[in-house]
Chain A
Amino acid sequence: MNSIKRFFTDRESLAPALVTLFAGLFSLLAGIVLIFIVSKNPVQSVRNFLLAPFLRSYNFYYLLIVMVPITFTGLALCIVYQLRYMSLIVDASFYTGAVVATALGTLISLPSGVHPAVAMIAAGIVGGLIGLLPAILKIRWRANELVSSLMLNYVFYFLGSFVILYYLRDRSQTILSSLPFKKTFLLPRLVANTQLHVGFLIAAGFVVLVSIFLYRTRWGYEIRLTGANPRFAMYAGIPVTSVILYAHFISGFLGGVGGAVEMSGLYRAFIWQMNPSYAWDGVIVAMLARRNPKFVPLSALFFAYLRVGADFMSRRGDVAFEFITLLQGLIILILASDRIVNYFRERQLRKQLLKNSRRESR
């Protein structure tokens, strides 16, 4: 509660908060304008877009389900962004995590409860190791981490779909699908007769864990300090290289676990025909949360709301779902612009000065 109060009274954080709000509203507005341009029945489409979660209870639960993967990728990217790194490797971690979980979910037998947990940990470790790669390339060979991570994302995507196709495929199915998961692998439902699964609680748990980790432990402090000023951190005796490495491992770990949770919670077999690329959603979630894990649920909720709205609208009308990706890009553009942040900050400062000078003249 205290932090919420501080959030709204702290002058320093109010300007970015306003920008965040502005980016959110602007993207909604841009979405509505776009719908009016292309839709034959714009009013209906806008209604479906904005009110989807409240029109059908199915949509409401769907909103909560969508929050799960983007919370994981959002948390993962919060850690990377705390370091001021740009690596997007969490996409590969997430996808490969899902593949690893599929392998463990179909091939081995374990008691229920233990089975998904083992799969998540294994997926997390694999995801973490993948997450290390761009960091190593950057530290050892100064290769730009964004470029190398995007390349690696392609490599791991093809590798993953290779494993599914050649080792785990259910040949009795006509469409591409892995063998069905063992019953013990599936996570229990949270609410009967909906798809809402225990993964939602796991994601919530990780939000708390990562918040504590980043803001209440030594390791988290080292990450934040290294990100804020690597040279200072080095002179302060922080082992910068290993900080960067474990931060990337943890980030990848979160991605891998996210992939595993998605598999065991939502599906009965691996049926992704292409990479869902939740990492891009994670970019927005982390940016809207301003790298602070504690705000991730809020921004994940907002983004899931956009996604569900776009999905519902596209299924009931003539507007393509991809328009969500368009909005995504617009939000990042706004959030990335220093000038826009500064505009709000300056305006605030001017008001403050004006108030002060009036007080003085009185």
Chain B
Amino acid sequence: MIHFIAGVVTSANYWFIVLRSTAPILLVTLGAVITAQAGIMNMALEGSMLWAALTGVIVSAATQNVWIGLLAGIGASVLVALVLGLFALKLHANPVLSGVALNLVATGGTVFVLFSLTGDKGISSSLASKVLPSLSIPVVKDIPWIGKVVSGQNIVVYIAAVSVVVIDLILRRFAIGRRIRATGENVEAARAAGINPVRIKFFTLIISGILAGFAGCFLSMGYTSNFTSGIAAGRGYVANAAQVVAGGTAVGSIFAAMLFGLTDAMATYLQNIGLMPELIQALPYAVTILGFVVVTFVRDRREAERKRKLFAGTAMQKEKADAA
């Protein structure tokens, strides 16, 4: 068993699969991070992915152009995010609850639309949809082990990598990032500083919609080549847990998403040698919870420590002042 796992972990093929299963989670986690930084939890990521996956398949089949399909998928995903914004920000609905409701609409709605179009509830195989291309990177592909892992991935995997940089820039380098964090930290203070919190939140929702759109389209037009019912498989929810693990940073998202990707890929392997698939399928979710709990625990501990020091410091200063 240990021998087997050691063999797997050193194989290039395993890491190739790790990157592949990390990419969609990474994208949605980034989406969850940016909205959470603005102080709104995008629970509708699951629904965004589902609609993107289905729309991408339908439009790419209808137009026979994968890029138009991708664009339409992203559009659908952004639309879901905007509807969430409409309900949560304009109609003052509970954002978590309306996110969950939008996911329900998506779970039922995608199957409903699929059935109405194809007469099949499970899979879109009767639609001649396109698949997003894989890229082989010129120089890198010739490096012995690394080339096999990094090169030849689907284009969305590279987009996910680029997204990390983009989100990091948005959050930490651009002025908008400061506004986003200010909104998340204290809405009233942000408003007093002339920031329009609703607009900022809508902005982050749109970004997260775009990211979830890539992820959803990847699932149905890259990771697999069909839309199947419930294709998102809870990744939108995982993203909201991973967001906490990521600690609100784009770089942290890589580790958080990897946590899921590593176990997910390992599950694929262990399943192949006939090791109780049901138990192994539960692994990625269990590991995500574990990471989630550990990180919140450590963060709270650190926060408490910081506060203690802070208060101790002020108390000391006061004592000094009193003595003087």
Contact = CB atoms under 8 A, between A and B. Distances in A.
B121 A158 contact: no
Contact of B104 (A143, A146, A328): A328
A212 to B, nearest CB: 28
Contact of B276 (A141, A152, A162, A330): A162
B292 interface: yes
A152 B289 CA distance: 8
A151 B238 contact: yes
B103 interface: yes
Interface in A236-285: 280, 283
A301 interface: no
A257 to B, nearest CB: 24
Contacts of A325: 104-105, 107-109, 111
A140 B286 CA distance: 18
B108 A166 contact: no
A96 interface: no
Interface string A151-175: 1101101110110011000000000
B288 interface: yes
Contact of A154 (B101, B285, B293): B285
B218 interface: no
A51 interface: no
B278 A340 contact: no
Given A320-B111, A323-B112, A155 B285 contact: yes
Interface in A199-251: none
A324 B115 CA distance: 14
A285 to B, nearest CB: 14
A165 B278 contact: yes
Interface in A89-148: 137, 140-144, 146-148
B282 A154 contact: yes
Given A155-B289, A320-B116, A326-B109, A337 B278 contact: no
B289 A329 contact: no
A99 B233 CA distance: 22
B241 A86 contact: no
Contacts of B91: 337-340
Given A151-B285, A329-B104, A337-B87, A142 B296 contact: yes
B282 A332 contact: no
Nearest to A165: B278
A166 B276 contact: yes
B108 A86 contact: no
A326 B105 contact: yes
Contacts of A323: 108, 112
B323 interface: no
A332 B97 contact: yes
Interface residues of B, number: 46
A322 B112 contact: yes
A320 B100 contact: no
Contacts, number: 147
A326 B292 CA distance: 30
B234 interface: yes
Interface string B264-307: 00000000000010110110011011001100110010000000
A36 to B, nearest CB: 12
A151 B237 contact: yes
Contacts of B107: 322, 325
A221 to B, nearest CB: 25
Contacts of A38: 112, 116
Contacts of B320: none
Contacts of A158: 278-279, 281-282, 285
A152 B93 CA distance: 26
Contact of B292 (A148, A320, A338): A148
A141 B292 CA distance: 9
B263 interface: no
B102 A143 contact: no
Contacts of B104: 280, 325-326, 328-329, 332
A64 interface: no
A150 interface: yes
B314 to A, nearest CB: 25
B98 interface: yes
Contacts of A328: 101, 104, 108
A332 B91 CA distance: 13
Contacts of A320: 111-112, 115-116, 121
Interface of B: 41, 43, 87, 90-94, 96-98, 100-109, 111-112, 115-116, 121, 234, 237-238, 240-241, 244, 276, 278-279, 281-282, 285-286, 288-289, 292-293, 296-297, 300
Interface of A: 34, 38, 86, 137, 140-144, 146-148, 150-152, 154-155, 157-159, 161-162, 165-166, 280, 283, 318-320, 322-333, 336-340, 342
19 contacts: A38-B112, A137-B289, A137-B293, A141-B296, A141-B300, A143-B293, A146-B100, A150-B237, A151-B288, A157-B282, A319-B112, A320-B111, A322-B121, A329-B109, A330-B101, A332-B100, A337-B91, A337-B93, A338-B92
